């Protein structure tokens, strides 16, 4: 009985220094400074509240949830700043918003 315990203690004793010599592969993510192209964070909770308030808890085919004042331009990620918009209207609005907000 003593042999296996002694072997285990030796292995554990030798394993600790070896593990300390190698950096871990699971490093914490690097935090980069925001860039001009970074997407603002969206709140799933706020969007879900908007969907429920408007009577379309599972979405509305052919439409997207749009921010009246874009997040990139300082708009709130809140149901009071959200509206339904057709996919085509959204594409046109996004082109204009990207140009306007990029200058700020």
Task: Give the DSSP per-residue string, 44-72.
Answer: HHHHHHHHHHTT-TT--TTEEEEESS-GG
Distances (CA, A) of 1 to 6, 12, 46, 61: 9, 17, 62, 69
Query: What whole-number distance in Å separates Cα of residue 59 and Cα of residue 34?
Result: 31
38 touches 102 (CB < 8 A): no
Please state the pTM of the whole predicted model: 0.58
Q: Looking at residue 62, what DSSP letter applies? A: T
Q: pLDDT for 23-45, tens place per residue?
A: 445 454 555 555 555 667 899 99
> Per-residue pLDDT tens for 60-99?
999 999 999 998 888 999 999 999 999 999 999 988 887 8
């Amino acid at each position: 009985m003593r042999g296996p315990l002694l072997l285990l203690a030796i292995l554990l004793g030798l394993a600790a220094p070896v593990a300390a010599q190698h950096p871990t592969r699971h490093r914490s993510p690097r935090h980069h400074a925001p860039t001009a192209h970074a997407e603002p964070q969206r709140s799933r909770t706020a969007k879900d509240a908007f969907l429920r308030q408007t009577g379309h808890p599972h979405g509305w085919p052919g439409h997207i949830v749009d921010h009246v004042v874009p997040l990139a331009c300082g708009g709130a990620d809140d149901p009071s700043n959200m509206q339904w918009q057709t996919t085509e209207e959204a594409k046109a609005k996004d082109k204009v918003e990207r140009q306007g907000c990029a200058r700020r």
